[in-house]
Each structure stands twice: as C-alpha cells, then as structure tokens.
Structure 1
Amino acid sequence: MRAPLSWLREYVELPAGETGRDVAAKLIEAGLEVETVDRLGAGLKGPLVVGKVLAIEELAEFKKPIRYCQVDVANSGGEPQNIICGATNFAVGDKVVVALPGAVLPGDFAISARKTYGRVSEGMICSAAELDMGDDHSGIIVLPPEYEPGADAVEVLELLDEVLDIAVTPDRGYCLSMRGIARETAIAYGQQLRDPALLDVPTPNAEGFQVNVADPGGCDRFAARTVTGLRPEAASPLWLQRRLQKSGMRPVSLPVDITNYVMLELGSPLHAYDRERLDGPITVRRATPGERLTTLDGTKRKLDPEDLVIADDSGPIGLAGVMGGINSEVADPEQDPQSGEWRGTTEVVVEAAHFDPVTVARASRRHKISSEASRRFERGVDPEAAAAAAQRAVDLLVLLAGGTAGSGVTHFAKPHGPHTVKIPATHPGRVAGVTYARETVVRRLQQVGCDVYGQDELTVTVPSWRPDLTDPNDLAEEVIRLEGYENLPSTLPRPPAGEGLTERQRLHRRVGRALAGAGYVEALNYPFVGQGSFDQLGLPEDDARRRTVDLVNPLSDEEPSLRTTLLPGLLSALRRNDGRGSQESQGGLALFETGLVFVPTGEETRAGRPGVEARPADEEIASLEAALPRQPRHAAVVLSGPREQPGWWGEGRPANWADAVEAARTVASAAGAELTVRAARYEPWHPGRCAALYVTGEAGGERLVGHAGELHPRVVKALGLPQRSCAMEIDLDAVEKAGGGLVPAPRVSGFPVATRDVALVVDESVPAADVEAALREGAGELLESVRLFDVFTGEQLGGGRKSLAYALRFRAGDRTLTADEASAARDAAVAAAVERTGAVLRGAESPAGS
C-alpha cells in the first residue's frame, strides 16, 4: 500500500516539520513494515509553469510530426516562448506544463534554450513521464482550463510529496487503506483520527435498485446506490488523478477513478455499473455449471460452481470481489466529431459489498486474477463500511460529474452480533513477561477500536475492521506492539536440567557423521513419490513399496504420495548432480540421506479434525495417532564414478557393490550392531550383485533390515544414471534395536596382538558370512576380530570352488599370548569352519606378529 504523506495529513494532525521518514519510523515501531519512503520531485529544480498555447506551426519537412509552438507563460518580458514539441494531443488554447530554460527535471535532465529542427526551442512542454508522474510518454499533459498561465506547475500538479510504501501482512488488511494507515499513525502520535468513514448515510428504503442476495454466506453486506444525470465529458480533477498516481494506480475515467479513490481511502472495494446496460435486478449467487463471463481484462472465463457471481437477468455480470464483467462496464466518454456532443455513461449503479474472504481468495486463485479488490477482500474488509463507501462515491459523483443522487437506498445486511473476547487484564503482561497496568491495557485496546468492559476480567468487543482479533493472544499482541517491542526485556530461555538428546537422536547424528567421514554428502529430498518412480525402479506390481499414503493436496500431481523408500529422491539427486558435471569436477558422487518413510499397515483409522480453541483431549490425540501410518526411519546411500582417485599413489578404483555394502556396515557400526550379509535378488538391484542385510532380531533370529549392491542396468537406463551406479538402503530403527543402546568407546589394550591368516576352500554356494560366523564361534573369547581380505577362484581349486582368506587377530586382556595359545585358537576356529561349512584348509600358518 502506497500512502502519500500529503493525503495522510488530512486525517491526522502531524507536526509541521514531520517528514516521511519520521512517520515511517513511528509506524515501524508499531509493527508495520514500511519498505521505502519515496521522495517525489526530489530532483526537480527551476521554473516549471503553466502555459497557454497561442499558436502551432506544423513542420512538415521531417519524417515525424514536429510542431513549433508559441506558448504564453506570463513571464516578466511579456513575450511568448517558442518551443519545439513532437506531441500532437494538444491544440491552440490548451493549457500545458512548460519547463523553462534553467529548470532541471527528474533524472538530472537540464533544460536550456537550444537550436533543433532549424528553430530555437526556448524550453520544453512536458509529459507525465518526464515529470515522474507515470509511464505515459504518448502525449504531453493538458491541464484543465481554469489554471492561469504562469502559475507554478509544481503546486498545481502536487509534484513535491513523500510516499510511504508499506508491505501489508495478511493479518492487517485494514491497512490497505488510508483510513487504516491513518488510524495507526494517529495512535503512534497520540492524536485524534479524523475518520473519513463517519458520513451521514440515508436510511434504506424500498425505492432503491432491486438487489437479491441468494447466498448470504458468501455476501453478508450489499449496498446499492444510483446516480443519474452524469456529464460524460466530466474528467477527474488533478488532485484526484495525482492521489491515484501517487498510490500506484492509473487514472481511467471519472466514475472508475472515484470508485478506486474511495477504495484507497476507506478500504472498501466498489464497482460502478452502467445502469442502462443492466437487465433487471442484481442477484448475488453461485455460478451454475457451464456459465461463462468475460471480465474487464477481456478474458472469457468458464465459471466454477463455487464462484460467487453478481448477475442480472442476462447472466453473470461480475466475479464477486475479484473483477467486473465487460458487458456492464462504464463506457469511456466519446465526442461526436460532427455535432460535438459527448456520449457515454450518464447513469450508474454503485455497488459496495462485503464478500466472504475464503470465497474470494479461491476464485482469485482459480481464475489467476489478482486484483486490488481481491487483495483486500481476501485479507478482510470492514463490513460496516460498505454503506459509507457507497455514500462517499455518490457524493463525489454528484460533486465532480454533476450527477443527481437517486432517492432510493438499498442495503442488505445479514444479521449478526458483535464479536467479543474475554481476557484477563493481566494476560498481556504474562505473555510479554512484563507488568502492564489495567489502565494501560484498556487504553491500548480502545485505541485499536475495541470497546472494553469489566475490571479483572475484561470483555472486549472487537471492531468490525479487525477480523484478525479472535482470541486473547491477538489482543495481547495489540497491547504489546503499541507499548513497544523495544521495551520488552531480553531474557534467555532456561532449558530444564537433565534433558538432552534422546538415544534415537544421538544415533541419527552418529550415522550422519560416520557416512560423512566415509566420503558421502548428505542430500535432503522431498518425501513425495509417484507410481512412475516405482515403475522406473522396476518394482513388481505386488511389491509392498507400491502401497503408499496419498496426500489430499499434493504439491505435484506427478508425486501425490508419501515415500516408502528413500531411493527415488536420492537417485534423482544423483542424476541431477551428474548432469551438472559434479562427477567430473569432484571425481565421483556419493550421497546419503536419513529420514522417515511412510508404510501403511491397513489398520489406520479415520480421525476427525480437532478445533483450535483449546488443546485436543487425550482421546482426540490418540485418535490422530491411530490414523497415522507406520513411519520407520531409514538410511540410504547412492554412489557412482571413481571411489578412489588415480594419482601418483597408484591406480584409482571405481565404486562397486562392495562399497554399498561397506556403507551398510558403517551404519551398523555406528549403532553397535553386527551385520550379516548374504547374496539376494531384490529390485532395483542387479540380481548377481545384490546383498541382503541382516541383524539379530529381538527373539534371537535373523531380521532382514535392508539391501545393498549395484543397480540393475534397466533401472540405470530408465533413470538416466551413470553406468554401474550402486545403492544401499537400511532400516535404521531396526538396526538401532539390534545394537542394544549405547555404543561403547573403543578400548586400547596394553598387550600385543597375535595375527594368524587362514585360507579355506569352500563351495561357491557357501556364503562368506557363514564361514566367518564359524570362525568366530570356534576361536573363542581370545578372538578380537576377523577380516576377509581375499577371495580367489581358479582351475587349481576345481570347478564350483572358491578360496576365502581371513586375517584373525587374537589378544588377551590380562597377558601376552604365547604362540601356542594363538595357534591353538586358530586351529579351533578352522576346525569349527570345517565342521559347519565343509571347508578345507588351504593356506599355511603365518608368523605371529604384534
């Protein structure tokens, strides 16, 4: 909202020397967002006067129209000024604005006498754009005939002013008017408000224009007034045009300018209908299926049954609260070239109404129209100001257009009582953390416009222009902001002692740090998916991951559901980064994400929507929780390209399925869980390079918690990923349960380690994890760790056989192991592996080391 300071002074008696920046500072202290203070005419200097065109000589020897004009500016010498001008929208006898030599126009444009087009031009006849009054370069300014030559054009055009540009938040719709801003200014300066809405409004009668409100829920106020005998040639006076221009609006015609002016002044949008173009009474109703309306912007729109429309017997003539229809608009005045008579609208019906904010907001978004009217209605307009706004428009039409106000007055009002809120007098102080006296609370609420009754318990009647004041905290905010936010003490909150991160939160951080330390970069993705994502992953139709929770109002129709897996978002991030050259610049991509997935169980119930007036009851909260799907927390990684860069230190290595498995081991290690890995077939992984991940369950058996490996080539192609991309996804909650709580810190032993290497030959079908488990069980308590460091297959082993080489580390906690003790433990481990897996010892014993 742009508020000229000169206009604001009409409603508030500001100190004489108060500048726009001073007023802006006061309003900012009161909680309004004043973005800028524009100083109009700041670069204007020198003589700028009214001139009368005495003669015009057309210079026809040039390609474009050039006119040599004699203009009377009533200067001291008495001689007219000779001025070259290219505009053609003025004639002899017209009054124009002349910048004389020595003047400086906005933009540091200096005016001097100079020779051009073979003549000497002694000044310039100005357009609106040259005086920074607007963007109109089409012609120069033609003034009304009452101004005398030589008059100061700076005063005539009100070129010197300051304009406050205020960003009005949605809860302060009343500030989209001079009345609302003046009210806040009056409070800030402790002055009385000269309320422009305090007008004498005639009593409604049966003689008014007939209006039928068929939907009182969508329109609870409707005032209609008729004005006849308008002069079509009547133009908006300069003061009216300038106030519209300073407020950011373009003058159009007198009836339209008046409705816009009253909207800016009182905040109540108006609409003027050409009475001769109306067919029967006005009706306010919902649109019927198939109806269409051509709005004032020339667009033919298909109406929705939820749209609230203004209609007559011919059909819709306006989209209520948004934009009028072209069929009933006020006609632009035209002059008959032969008779000289003016033709145009001579009778208008002025509409001032109050429409439901939600209805207007939805219609505005549905039809993609953001008008000045819709901006105000959807933020809340004073319903009690409709009759006053209509009266104000009628008064201006009578005054400026020579019209006659009709005796009929139509005013529909849906009965409703005032909105009251009960609030303890001490409540604002408790909210702010300071002490406010009862008198202070009452005074501030009365300044806002409230009626206040009571002593300790106040009954507050909210003014009609403040629909945002609905509960005690809203009233407390008004008291606090008017008393000054800067007066509130600064205190640090004190968290309760003994409460910190939960174990679940600690694990979340440990996993993130561990994966980041392993070279992965965290990627946060939207939790939305569509069935197309599952198709690209190659999931079967009966896959449980296709059963999703659908959103009522999704951000995108292509992703209407909540995710059941982290992979679609991560793989999209991998593709996006690869497409932008991240792999070439960084040498490889490795991303991870930890987050919730949403798994419907089919046992969810349908919960109602609790109210906002109080905390929901325990039963309501339980019902809401029962309606939620299961939400386990997962961790996932995706990687492609080089895992180890080549350099002087040696050859590089591309990422493969083993790196994805290692990422799972990293997650399990952060949770303190032992991970078992077995070969598997599971989409979207490659059937020969996929590993199933298991942990020990609560009942002692194994529990599947995830998969890792290389993605299927079809999936890589469908998603546009780099070749041989790999991924891992694991159920972090299940891993946390298997970990058993806190992860112990590593212990450094003071005794040396004894290392033994063994190589065991087994059938290719035997999982390495089974061989490792057998070695651990057979080695006993002296075994510190076991690591698979080599897998070998070849003709010397025979078909279907493989050799697994393990490094066994032995250590005692209270002594140095002897070579015999380490060898005995190694032999026991091998014996267990031979018995359980059919392994055959292949290697020789390595020397003990420490």
Structure 2
Amino acid sequence: MRIPVSWLAEHLELPEDTTAEAVADAFVRIGLEVEDLTPLTPVDGPLVVGRVAEVEELTEFKKPIRFCRVEVGEDDTGEQHLQGIVCGATNFAEGDLVVTALPGAVLPGGFEIGARKTYGRMSEGMICSMRELGLGDDHEGILVLPPGSADPGTEAAELLGLDDTVIELAVTPDRGYCFSVRGLARELSNAFDVPFGDPGNRPVPEDERESRPVRIDDPSACSRFVFRRVSGVDPTSPTPWWMRRRLSLAGIRSISLAVDVTNYVMLELGQPLHAWDATKLSGGVTVRRAAPGEKLTTLDDVQRSLDPDDIVICDDSGPVSLAGVMGGATTEIGDGTTDVLLEAANWDPKTIARMLRRHKLPSEAGKRFERTVDPAVAPAAAELAAQLLVRYGEATIEPGRTDVGEWSAPPPVTMPLALPDKVAGVRYERGVTARRLTQIGCRIEVSTSDSGIGLVTASPPSWRPDLGQPADLVEEVLRLEGYHTIPSVLPPAPAGRGLTPAQRRKRAVSRALAHDGYVEVLPFPFTGTEELGKLGLTEDDERRRDVSLVNPLESDRALMATTLLPGLIEAVQRNVARGQRDLGVFHIGQVVLPAEQRAAVPDVGVADRPSAQELAALQASLPEQPTHVGAVLVGQRERAGWWGTGREADWSDAVEAARTVARAANVELTVRKGERKPWHPGRCAELLAGDVVVGYAGELHPTVVEAFELPKRACAVELDLDALPLTEHRPAPAVSAYPPVLMDVALVVDDSVPSADLVETVRSGGGELLEDVRLFDVFTGQQVGDGKKSLAMALRFRAPDRTLKQDEATEARDRAVSTAKQRHGAVLRG
C-alpha cells in the first residue's frame, strides 16, 4: 500500500513538526511493516506553470515533433514572456496549462535543463511529464493541469506538492482495513494519541426508492449491494489535479474522471467501487453463481469461461460483470458516457480469492475484497463518489438508492480487564484496556463477574472481523501500548543440562560422515507419488503409506517423506547437472511412517487445556516419525591422478558408510545379503544391530539409476538411527605395550558363502587372542576350482598382559580355521 504522508495527515491533528520518519516509526511501533519511505525530489531552479500559447507542428521529421510558444510569466513591461520549447508529446493543445522547467532547473535524477538547439529550433526549457517530476511512473504524455489551477509564471513546486513523502507499507492479510487512508490514519491517531476524523463517517440521505432493482440469489456470496445513480456527467471534464496527484503517488494511473473517482474513493475508504454505463444495462440486476458453460467478455476484451464457483452480476441479457474482479465489456464506461451507475458491494473474501487466481486477474479491488471490506462503509463510499462527480463532472444525483443484502457486525467478546497485564507481565495504568479498545472502534461495556473480577465486553467494529476471541483484544492493547514497553527477560538456564544422548549421537554421526568426505545437504522435506514410483516401490510397500499435506507448497510434492532417498537423489541430480560427477551427500532427518490402520484425530478445542485422555488420543493419532540417516554416492570414490587410475564407488563403499555411522554410534553392525527396493538385488546388504534390521546399503537398481538419470553404479545407504541401541560412548585410548603376532590365512569356500559370514566365523573361532581380522583379497579361477572362491585374510593376535608366543598364536589360528571348516566347509588353501 503506497500513500503520500500528506493524505494521511489530512485526517489527523498531527503536530506541525511531525516528520515522515516519525510517521514511519509510529507505524512500525504499532505493528505495521514499512517497506519504503520515498521523499519526493524537489526541483532546483526555476519550475513554473506555463500556458501553451502557440503550437507549430514540425512535419519534416519521422516522429511527432512540436515547437511550442509557452507563456511563463510577465516580464518587466507587464506582458507575458513567451518561451520557445521543442516537445515530442501530443496530448496537449493551445491554451493548456503545463509545468515548465526553465533553463537552470535540475529535475529529479540530476537532469539539468538548458537552452539548446534541436530539430532546427532553439529550445529554452522543457514541458514536463509526471515521471520527469518524480510524481509517478506515467510517462505517456505531458502533465496538463486543469484550467484555472494557477496563472502562468506561478511557482509550480508548491502546487505539485514536491515537499511530500510517499510511504509504502506491507499490510498483513488479517488487517485488510489498512488498505485505505481511513484505516491507516486511524492507526496513526492511535499511535500518536491524537484526534481522528473518520472520512467514512459521512451522512447518507435516506431514500426508499431504488436506483435499480437488485436481487441477491446467493447471500453467502454477497452480503451487501449498493447502487447510486448520477446523470448528466460531462465526459470531457478533467480529473482535478489534486486527485490525479494522489492517485499517481499511490501507483494508480489516471484514466477518466468517472474511473479516477472510483479509484480515489477506494483508496480513501477501502471500499472498491465499479462504475457502470447505466444506459447499457437492461432490466433489473441479479447477483448469483455462474451457470456451467457461461461466458463473459471482460473489460480487457478477453472472453472468459466461467466456473460455477464464480460470482457474477447479471442483467436481462446474462452475466455483465465478474463480481469483485473485473467488469464486463458490454457495460463499460465510454468516452461519451453521461449516465453512471455506481456500485459498492461486499463480496465473500474466500470466493474472490479463488476467482482472482482462477482467472489470473489480480487487481487493487480484488486485493481488498479477499482481505475483507467493511460492509458498513458501502453507502458512504457510493455517496462520496456521487458527490465528487457532481462537483467535478457537473453531474446530478438521481433520486433513490439501492441497498440490499444482510450483514452483521462481529459478535461481542468478553475478557477480564486485567488479561493484557497478565499476558504482558506489565502493570498498565488504570483504564488502558478500555481506552485502547475504544480507539480501535470497539463499543465497550465494563462489568464485574460473580467472583468479583472486572470484565470488559467489546463489540468489534464492522471493519474488524478479525477480533473474535480475548487473545485478539489482548494483542490490540499490547500493540497500541507498544511492544517495546514489554520487558524482555531471558529465563535462567539450569545448570547440569546439555545435549541429550540422542543429540550427541546425531552430531557424532554427522561429523563422522563429513570426515569421510560426505557433504551434508538439506533436501526438500516433501515428495510425490512420481518419485516413489521411480524408486520402484510397489503399492503394498510400507513406504507407500504416506501422509498428504492439506496445503502443499508444490502440488506435485504433497506427501510427507517416508524415505530420505528421493531428496538425496535430487541433490545428486542437481550437482551432476552442474558438472560435479564425483560426490557423496548425506542427510539426517525425520521420515513419516504411518501405521496401516490409522487412528482418528480427536477434535480438541482451545478453550481449555486438553485432558490426559485427549493428549493420549492425539499422540496415538500421530504417525511414527523416526530419525533416519541416508547417503548417496556417485562417481569416483578415490580420485584419479598421477598416483593412480582411481576407483569407482561401489556397494562396499555404501556398506562402509553404514559402518561409519555404526562406529560413531558405538554399535556393531552385522552385514548380510539382502534384497529391498530400490537397491540392486545382487548388490544389496541388509544391516542388523543385534537381531533387528536397521537399514540397507548397496548399489541402486539400474532401472532406478536410469529413471533418475544418475551416473552408472550409483550407491545409497539408509539407516534407522532411532533403531540403533543408544549407548553412552566415551572411549579412552588403550595402547598395548606388547607386540602383536601377524598371520595370513587363505580359505577356499563355495561361491554361495557370503564373505562377511566367513570373516565373522574366523573372528569368533579365533577367541580372545584374535584382535583383528581384515579381508584383503578375493580370488576365483581354475586354481581353486569351479564354483569356489579363495578369501585371504590378515589376522592380528595379541595378549593384553604378556608377550604372545608363536605357538599360542598358531593354536588360535588353527581353531579359527577349524571353526570355518565346520560351519562353511572351508579348506585351507595351499
């Protein structure tokens, strides 16, 4: 909302020394956001009102060029001094009053005006447009002042109001009344505690006759509809300069007197108006919902297909206006319109909001209707517009006024008088609550409860439907008293508390993965059915049991994530598309896993604290939300260079990432062959903590890689971090003083024996003296036989309390080999 400060001050008794900066500070103090404060730039040097005396058309040029003789004031002899000026605009004629910058003037932006020869003529100055004077963005023609505005030679700076400042405010959706001078001036009066003159509080003459009969078929769509008719409007009457200036500074272009008047009243009172050519309407008017298949050509000459949810205004010929959004072309005000029907209506905000988006027709009127317009101001707005047309358009107000519909003021709200003090923790002066609520327009009744507590009953005004509960009234009192008066006291932090064990584990896992070269990312927390389909998840997969959002940020991502993989894969896709083909990313976050049979969500009110049973029911209705850790890696895990050819990432790197997580969480993982989508069935590891499956790791299925356009052999791991046993792990270094005994052993087993199982068997068979087992080679070939493989392992033996003898280590090795032979049929390779 852009508005000049002078317009606001017109309805207030502000001290004379009040600056625009003070006004902006006052708005911020009472909770309105000031986006910009733009002082108008004064013109240095001579800027005067001129009268165009002669216009000579220079026809020898490709574009319109005119040489004008302009009267710019009397000379020493009392005669008008004529200044020759070359101008390319054509929207003025001889006798018009224009704003003229004479040589020596400096316009906004540092544009200096001098005398120079151009187009074969000596030009001594410039005839200015609105934009060149800093009064708006209108640059379609010269600023032509209304006849009689001033005499030639009059200083123009004061007439133009170049000492003004434009303030721009961001109005929140719940405060639609602030989309008007009326609402903003009322807020300023409360901030400065000065009297306020309500421009909407104007007398409306009683008249039982109707301007035109109106029937409202759907009261939910329209709560009030007012018609006021004026006739004899002079279509050539110009819009007065003061009105044009205010509209321009507010960002609205001047069109014609009738249209400008409706826009001015909208800015002044917050009630959008629509002007009809009364002669183009046939019969009575009906307000209803559109019928299926109906069409309407709007003022922008676009034929629009109407939706049954649309509100339309109809005459005997059918729809003639898209209510609250845009009028129809058949009843448009034209250059010769003299009979004007002024409409001031109140429409359902939600329906208007849907219509604006459905037809892609944002407008200043729609912006106000979708935020709620004061229904009580409609007759005053129509009357003000009619009087302005009478004053400046030589019109006559026709007898009668249509005023139909049913509306009601917001219901009263009762609260304890001391509630604002209790909420803010501040003891306000006596009477503050009643005074502040009165200032915002509420009617106040003070009473005492049966228990002796002082109560206040506030009846909100018609323009404040957002005041529906005691908390709303408390907010108004605190806001107007000033949030800065509420002390800011930090609660003391109790000693002895820090991160929980789960938080410490999460940080340890994050640091461990980052240390291993993975980059943490924050993917989009929602997903869609298309992404789950690309993962190859079948309809009976538990990860397909999702929770959908009521109002998603993106329509194709309306589901809470049941797995971290879609978000991680998207991050990899984005990096690969930008040329980064060797990378690993990870994320630690919650997923949502609803049960197959979902519990109903109880309806809990806000009047009282929920009971223990209600809280338990609420908790039971929530889906499980465990914390997962996931990682995706593509490309080379070991980079190529002068040191070697590098190594592509494979399933073993994904498994190692899982082990990294387990080590950071002080948990031992068991790795065995698994099968789960979206992993490759032959290159997927199932990860267990004890007997509980906590995740999977390996290469993604080729169809998944192709669907997401990932590099070949992309790998992924996902672990349920909450499923890992939570143990306190504060390791102390243990360095043995005794030397180890190192031995290698190669065992031949069937191809079907998992390598991890054989390593675990050797580890358990070696007993306490076997400190570490490391698999360093897997060999297949004729030397070991068909269907066989040879696994070479490095064994490290050590005794914690003595130097281990060679024969003790050999005995332990033999026990390990024997155990492998018993369980897997392993044979010691010669």
CA positional deviation for 1:659: 0.5
Letter in 2 for 1:800: G
Q: Give the SS at the match of 2:246.
A: helix
The equivalent residue for 2:822 is 835
The equivalent residue for 2:734 is 748
The answer as to whether partners of 2:549 and 2:559 remain within 8 angstroms in 1 is yes
- Indicate whether 1:787 and 2:767 are aligned: no
- In structure 2, what is the Cα distance between the partners aligned to 1:59 and 1:418? 65
- In structure 2, what is the Cα distance between the partners aligned to 1:776 and 1:57? 106
CA positional deviation for 1:7: 1.5
The answer as to whether partners of 1:453 and 1:460 remain within 8 angstroms in 2 is yes
The answer as to whether partners of 2:138 and 2:253 remain within 8 angstroms in 1 is no
Alignment counterpart, residue 158 of structure 1, candidates 158, 161, 170 = 161
CA positional deviation for 1:731: 3.0
Alignment counterpart, residue 109 of structure 1, candidates 111, 116, 126 = 111
- Indicate whether 1:211 and 2:203 are aligned: no
The equivalent residue for 2:520 is 522
CA positional deviation for 1:162: 1.5
The structure-2 alpha-carbon separation of the partners of 1:323 and 1:707, relative to structure 1 and needing over 3 Å to count, comes to same
The answer as to whether partners of 2:225 and 2:343 remain within 8 angstroms in 1 is yes
The answer as to whether partners of 2:410 and 2:465 remain within 8 angstroms in 1 is no
The equivalent residue for 1:50 is 49
- In structure 2, what is the Cα distance between the partners aligned to 1:184 and 1:542? 58
Q: Give the SS at the match of 1:442.
A: helix
Deviates more, 1:629-638 or 1:387-396: 629-638
CA positional deviation for 1:364: 1.4
The equivalent residue for 1:402 is 394
Alignment counterpart, residue 257 of structure 2, candidates 248, 254, 257 = 254
The structure-2 alpha-carbon separation of the partners of 1:183 and 1:546, relative to structure 1 and needing over 3 Å to count, comes to closer
Letter in 2 for 1:645: R
- Indicate whether 1:770 and 2:757 are aligned: yes
Question: Superposition pairs for residues 610-621 of structure 1, below 5 Å?
Answer: 610-611=604-605, 615-616=609-610, 618=612, 620-621=614-615
Deviates more, 1:384-393 or 1:638-647: 638-647
The structure-2 alpha-carbon separation of the partners of 1:69 and 1:779, relative to structure 1 and needing over 3 Å to count, comes to closer
- In structure 2, what is the Cα distance between the partners aligned to 1:272 and 1:232? 13
Alignment counterpart, residue 324 of structure 1, candidates 327, 344, 356 = 327
The equivalent residue for 2:451 is none
Alignment counterpart, residue 679 of structure 1, candidates 668, 673, 679 = 673
CA positional deviation for 1:230: 1.8
CA positional deviation for 1:378: 1.7
The structure-2 alpha-carbon separation of the partners of 1:302 and 1:611, relative to structure 1 and needing over 3 Å to count, comes to farther
The equivalent residue for 1:98 is 100
Deviations 1:586-632 (A, max 9, x none): xx211112333344543114436555555555555555555444444
The equivalent residue for 1:444 is 436
Question: Superposition pairs for residues 683-832 of structure 1, below 5 Å?
Answer: 683-697=677-691, 703-734=692-723, 736=724, 739=725, 741-743=727-729, 745-752=731-738, 754-757=740-743, 758-812=745-799, 817-832=804-819
The structure-2 alpha-carbon separation of the partners of 1:17 and 1:745, relative to structure 1 and needing over 3 Å to count, comes to same
The equivalent residue for 1:184 is 187
Q: Give the SS at the match of 2:175.
A: helix
Alignment counterpart, residue 129 of structure 2, candidates 127, 130, 153 = 127
Letter in 2 for 1:684: P
CA positional deviation for 1:136: 3.8
Letter in 2 for 1:482: L
The answer as to whether partners of 1:753 and 1:809 remain within 8 angstroms in 2 is no
Query: TM-score, length-normalised on structure 2?
Result: 0.92
The structure-2 alpha-carbon separation of the partners of 1:86 and 1:768, relative to structure 1 and needing over 3 Å to count, comes to closer
Deviations 1:621-646 (A, max 9, x none): 55555544444443222112221224
Q: Give the SS at the match of 2:444.
A: strand
Deviations 1:676-717 (A, max 9, x none): 2223444433343332323323xxxxx433332223334333
The equivalent residue for 2:313 is 310
CA positional deviation for 1:371: 0.8
- In structure 2, what is the Cα distance between the partners aligned to 1:209 and 1:618? 60
CA positional deviation for 1:760: 2.1
Q: Give the SS at the match of 1:318.
A: strand
What percent of counterpart residues are identical? Answer: 55
Deviates more, 1:647-656 or 1:511-520: 647-656
Q: Give the SS at the match of 2:73.
A: coil
Deviates more, 1:136-145 or 1:267-276: 136-145
Deviates more, 1:191-200 or 1:288-297: 288-297
The equivalent residue for 1:487 is 485
Query: TM-score, length-normalised on structure 1?
Result: 0.90
The equivalent residue for 1:338 is none
Deviations 1:829-850 (A, max 9, x none): 332222222122337xxxxxxx
Query: Once superposed, what is the RMSD of the aligned Cα atoms?
Result: 2.7
- In structure 1, what is the Cα distance between the partners aligned to 2:606 and 2:238? 52
- Indicate whether 1:277 and 2:280 are aligned: yes
Alignment counterpart, residue 567 of structure 1, candidates 545, 558, 565 = 565
How many residue pairs were aligned?
Answer: 819
CA positional deviation for 1:500: 5.0
The structure-2 alpha-carbon separation of the partners of 1:555 and 1:24, relative to structure 1 and needing over 3 Å to count, comes to closer
- In structure 2, what is the Cα distance between the partners aligned to 1:841 and 1:708? 31
Instruction: Note the residue ranges of structure 1 that are not aligned, 5 or more in a row.
Output: 334-343, 698-702, 844-850
Letter in 2 for 1:363: M
Instruction: Note the residue ranges of structure 2 that are not aligned, 5 or more in a row.
Output: 448-453
CA positional deviation for 1:194: 1.1
- Indicate whether 1:72 and 2:74 are aligned: no
Alignment counterpart, residue 659 of structure 2, candidates 662, 665, 675 = 665
The answer as to whether partners of 1:425 and 1:438 remain within 8 angstroms in 2 is no
CA positional deviation for 1:550: 4.3
- Indicate whether 1:7 and 2:1 are aligned: no
The structure-2 alpha-carbon separation of the partners of 1:540 and 1:60, relative to structure 1 and needing over 3 Å to count, comes to closer
CA positional deviation for 1:266: 0.8
CA positional deviation for 1:11: 0.5
- In structure 2, what is the Cα distance between the partners aligned to 1:122 and 1:631? 77
- Indicate whether 1:595 and 2:589 are aligned: yes
CA positional deviation for 1:261: 0.6
The equivalent residue for 1:457 is 455
- In structure 2, what is the Cα distance between the partners aligned to 1:605 and 1:313? 54
Deviates more, 1:390-399 or 1:153-162: 153-162
Deviates more, 1:785-794 or 1:215-224: 785-794
The answer as to whether partners of 2:777 and 2:791 remain within 8 angstroms in 1 is yes
Letter in 2 for 1:139: G
Question: Superposition pairs for residues 207-606 of structure 1, below 5 Å?
Answer: 207-331=210-334, 333=335, 344-454=336-446, 456-494=454-492, 500-539=498-537, 543-583=541-581, 588-606=582-600
CA positional deviation for 1:284: 2.0
Q: Give the SS at the match of 1:145.
A: coil
